[in-house]
Amino acid sequence: MPDNLTQSPNFSAIDFLRTRSLANVVQAEIERMIVDGELKPNERVNENGLSQQLGVSRGPIREACSALAAMGLIEIIPNRGFFIRALSNDEAQDLSEARAAVFGCMAMMLAERVTDAQIAILRALLQRMDEIVELGDYHVYYPVNLEFHKQIGEMAGNNRLHLIYQSFVRELHIQRYRALASQDVLKISNAEHREIVDALESRDPIRALTAGRAHILNGIVRTRNAGRPGETAASAPSKPARKSRTAPNATGKS
Amino acid sequence: MPDNLTQSPNFSAIDFLRTRSLANVVQAEIERMIVDGELKPNERVNENGLSQQLGVSRGPIREACSALAAMGLIEIIPNRGFFIRALSNDEAQDLSEARAAVFGCMAMMLAERVTDAQIAILRALLQRMDEIVELGDYHVYYPVNLEFHKQIGEMAGNNRLHLIYQSFVRELHIQRYRALASQDVLKISNAEHREIVDALESRDPIRALTAGRAHILNGIVRTRNAGRPGETAASAPSKPARKSRTAPNATGKS
DNA sequence: ACAATACTGTTGACAATTAACAGTTGACGT
DNA sequence: ACGTCAACTGTTAATTGTCAACAGTATTGT
């Protein structure tokens, strides 16, 4: 249970995250709650409850939710409130494909301008991942893998595209569409990484695009086969169905 | 001067736009103000002034700004407030390239699954644009051009990517990076459209990607040559230099 | 440098809307 | 005609949407 956020006399780590104000902290906290399952998909965000729980008034919470809604993580229903957005399987598929497309594009753009020094950096990461693959420890592999992707995004030189990509990754993460992997999968994954770097080194944009896109798409397939075919979408109640009297028969008095 | 939004006893068109609440209306209004130049880049959003001007309290305005900030149209500086985001030339370039990349991706994905019926629809639009080119009227051409791009986005079958693309277009529009075009430019533009459709018809993803991306990138070059090399970024003061309490009387308590 | 001031960040309270509950009416089957 | 059931209506509790006021911060003028 998170402590009171505002009036603690001596500041904790919260003061650190305070890039803007409470609204920002609240936003991060809500994202965390979604990741940790404290807020489930299709659930309403109870503003009173949250404000009480976080020791903050409703204003910052509403601001945070508005921002989250603009990012697509929260849905707004008029006079009903903010709802945690649940991705249907189709939407998750779209999101993953979009991620693949954007990543492919970044690889393509990078191939058009990559320097030898950058290649060297990527190869170094590649080697580190190779070593980790031998250990077969996914939890060590994952952050390096993330770093590899992030490097490509930054090297591609298009900040906007990179931001989009990062938001995709984060949203998929929040929605618990994460790859879990055996050693074999890690090996394949890194082989694809190598193909990407090779494509970059050959300065072949199309090849880089293809390799980058395929890498993400393959990851989707692997995730699916790994046995979580969309736990959020499948099990959740379909919609916040309002079962009031107005719905079924429009007899209506006039 | 817009009328009071809240307590009009008989509803006007406002009730129509009211998908959520005042915050939504305010958001749309702010976007309009940016487009119309009432809010200039790097200018601070005076919450008091706006609230007074719109007849709304500051709450909805802050929510709207939070959403806009999440979309990248507004920048937040702690304890200074919300600022209309100004795109530097580099950022505008990034944005345009990102748009080109995403559009190219959509074309590519469409090429992998396009039906003959869809091709026919695109060809029909193509022909209409051909006819308009003869007239040389940009203002007639533009909406059809928009429709063409939108169709491709929808046909590509990836909603998320399409949304991103639309937000790019809108942001560029808001930032006044609009193409103005002579008849020659229109002719070239539509020739590129035709190449895209040809690529789609040949079911060649790479060709479609290349054609789609090139079309947007060429558009950037054309816009630049047309003589507005970034009026917003070039002329604006580099950073929020608050010159004075320009809004003369924002506070007037009562 | 210091005081005045305008403005943001935040809060608590109020009004409006909604969903749920209980009570009533009407119809249908037995 | 009686009893059961379904649908409809009025009321209540809960929650959202909005506002006005307070406290803290950065900026301006002297």
Mean pLDDT within B42-46? 94
In the structure, what pLDDT confidence band is assigned to residue A102 with cuts at 50, 70 and 90? very high
| Residue in A closest to B81 by C-alpha | A20
Mean pLDDT within A54-62? 94
Mean pLDDT within A81-89? 92
What does the block give as tokens for A238? 């379909």
Looking at residue B241, its pLDDT comes to 39
Tell me the HSE value of B237 on the side-chain side, using a 13 A CA sphere.
Answer: 11
Q: Would the CB atoms of B19 and A78 count as touching at under 8 Å?
A: yes
Nearest to A94 among B20, B67, B159 (CB): B159
Decide which of B4 and A92 is more confident. Answer: A92
Nearest-Cα distance to chain B for A187, in Å, is 28
Tell me the per-residue pLDDT of B112-128, one tens digit each, with 9 for 90 and over. 999 999 999 999 999 99
DSSP B229-251: S-HHHHHS-SS----S--STTS-
DSSP A9-62: SS--THHHH-SS-HHHHHHHHHHHHHHTTSS-TT-B--HHHHHHHHT--HHHHH
Kind of pairing between the strands at A81-84 and A74-77: antiparallel
Strand C proximal to B81 Cβ, under 7 A = yes
Tell me the per-residue pLDDT of B157-180, one tens digit each, with 9 for 90 and over. 999 999 999 999 999 888 877 777
Rounded-to-integer distance, Cα B26 and Cα B64, Å: 6
Looking at residue B53, its pLDDT comes to 92
Looking at residue A175, its pLDDT comes to 82
Looking at residue A225, its pLDDT comes to 66
Domains of chain A, CATH where assigned: 14-86 (1.10.10.10), 89-234 (1.20.120.530)
In the structure, what pLDDT confidence band is assigned to residue A173 with cuts at 50, 70 and 90? confident
Q: Please determine, for residue B250, whether its predicted confidence score (pLDDT) is greater than 60.
A: no
Nearest-Cα distance to chain A for B176, in Å, is 18
Cβ-based interface (< 8 Å): residues of A facing B: 18-21, 23, 59, 62-64, 66-72, 76, 78, 91, 94-95, 97-98, 101-102, 104-106, 108-109, 158-161, 163-164, 206, 209
**What are the Cα distances from residue A96, in Å, to A4, A169, A213, A230?**
37, 9, 10, 12
Average pLDDT, chain B: 82
DSSP state, residue B111: H
Q: Please determine, for residue A17, whether its predicted confidence score (pLDDT) is greater than 90.
A: no
Q: Which of B248, B241, B71 is nearest to B168 (CA)?
A: B71
Per cent of chain A over pLDDT 90 is 63
ipTM value > 0.90:
no
Give me the count of residues in chain B: 254
Q: Please determine, for residue A13, whether its predicted confidence score (pLDDT) is greater than 90.
A: no
Q: Who's near A119: CB < 8 A, 6+ residues apart? A: A197, A200, A201
Tell me the per-residue pLDDT of B179-220, one tens digit each, with 9 for 90 and over. 777 888 899 999 999 999 999 999 999 999 999 999 999 887
Q: Who's near B69: CB < 8 A, 6+ residues apart? A: A67, B75, B76, B82
Residue B98 · residue A160 · CB < 8 Å: yes
Per cent of chain A over pLDDT 70 is 79
Q: Largest alpha-carbon pair distance within chain A?
A: 76
